[in-house]
Amino acid sequence: MPRARGKLDLDPATVRHARSLARKAGRPIVTMAKKHTTVAVERATLRLAGLEGADTEGTPWVNRLMDVVRADTGLEHGVALPVWDALLRGEADDLATLAQKASAGSVTFRLPEGKDAERARRASRRQVGQGIRRIDARRAERERLVRRIGDAPRQPWIYLIVATGDIYEDIPQAQAAAREGADVIAVIRSTGQSLLDFVPEGATREGFAGTYATQENFRLMRAALDETSRELGRYVRLTNYASGLCMPEIATLAGLERLDMMLNDSMYGILFRDINPVRTFVDQRFSRQVHARAGIIINTGEDNYLTTADAVEAAHTVTTSQLLNEYFAKEAGLEDWQLGLGHAFEIDPDVPDSFRLELAHALLARELFPDAPLKWMPPTRHMTGDVFRGYLLDGFFNLVGALTGQGILLVGMMTEAVVTPWLSDRDLALQNVRYVMNAAGNLHEDFHPAPDGFIAERARQVLAETIELLDAIVHDSDEQGDPPLLAAIADGTFGLMKRPPGGGKGLDGVARKSSAYYNPATEILEAP
């Protein structure tokens, strides 16, 4: 049997089989997603059409308008036809006025038919198309800036988190971090925002262990990092979170404001925020279509599984999720260079050969996804408060990144997951990264594990267990006829979290599409 060229000498037929099983497990989920819509998908469509702002209580106009349309005509037909029918009937001159009148109870919506429906389709596609063209323009702008200013000199890109809760405090910290060597700035989101079924409006100055993701905050930080990029002569990338109940809307805002990366995992919200599985899969498909159009790199969340499950015993669930995330992403239009598939350095350091196991797992991910900018996550679970031990662990983490050629390296701090790191902790962490990468940055060119040694055998074992798990998922039968992957999620297969398809937050915001359903954003994004 032919063998693949690579450091692990993986059997290409085995790798193809793993991907084939991931497709079989994922395809029923995609079919399900195509048949449903959500309030967040419909609100994202209104945002693409230019509807912004909020009422005096802070409730976004997209929410106000969507609520009235849904009450009058139902969610299953979508928002486009009733809204643009109302505009064409002269109920208001623009979306903002229509939303205000609807909120005041002075507009009644209907589902148009015949020629009225066709006129509403054309009008909605024209206006939503303007928003998508704006996303196209922001993508072209990024490409021009990278050419004109310059890019990070090499990978891995150094990824550093900034999050004070106050966007005006985040900005100088982000700029300082870029000057100290960070290539990617991630503004971590305020705790609990993923469970809000609306996107806050405007610049925010109070958050909880993070800063709210809003369109204005995106705009402010992007402008500040553009200024710093010109100063440094390299384009500094900006990351936020397209997850939770407003995943499609935040993805849309990211495209409109030229963010470069977004946390966007297919199962994270299900497992760790108890968001309904159907809602999540529908929302993530639309959000990834937007990311594909915007040229945004997604970061997936497999590292989180290893904070709740054992990092050795559950290693194959990480690989399984990576293969599923790859399938879902490519089905939505993302390319290999946009797949920041996640994995982490989370094995208990007291486990014998823990460093060799980490090398095996990281190298397996690198070889399975050779063209993807993998996101390598630092140790958190086994940090103890011993800063000297923590600093050493982060050094070992950085060394694995160098040895295996990871694409995106999140800076680990020795106080991670113990206390909120000081700025001095960040400085020391960046020094750690710089030392390892300067001293061993291209060591992956020389590192070749023994063909039948511990590292290669462990990698093949994890791949075999991945195939066994995917095969079990594919051939599992569900009495209610749900996709088998939903049953696996309900059984606690990933991260030991049991999430049934009929439970979780946000299920009431899901509807099966009617025969009259129309969404111009989906039509444009899916056009060949």
Question: Which positions are annotated as active-site residues?
Answer: 268, 303, 375
* Whole-angstrom distance, CA of residue 328 vs CA of residue 322: 10
State the DSSP H helix or E strand holding residue 488, giving kind and residue range, or none if neither: helix 484-490
Q: Report residue 129 as tokens.
A: 């198309």
Contact yes or no for 112/120 (Cβ under 8 A): yes
**Cα–Cα–Cα angle for 176, 158, 354, rounded to 5 degrees:** 130
* Whole-angstrom distance, CA of residue 397 vs CA of residue 411: 10
The 10 Å Cβ neighbour count of residue 344 is 26
Name the maximum alpha-carbon separation found in the chain: 74
* Whole-angstrom distance, CA of residue 203 vs CA of residue 197: 18
> Cα torsion for 163, 167, 171, 174, to the nearest 10°?
20
320 SS3 class: helix
> Cα torsion for 7, 13, 14, 20, to the nearest 10°?
130
Q: Report residue 444 as tokens.
A: 């992956």
* Whole-angstrom distance, CA of residue 137 vs CA of residue 450: 49
**Cα–Cα–Cα angle for 163, 261, 292, rounded to 5 degrees:** 150
159 SS3 class: strand
* Whole-angstrom distance, CA of residue 74 vs CA of residue 87: 18
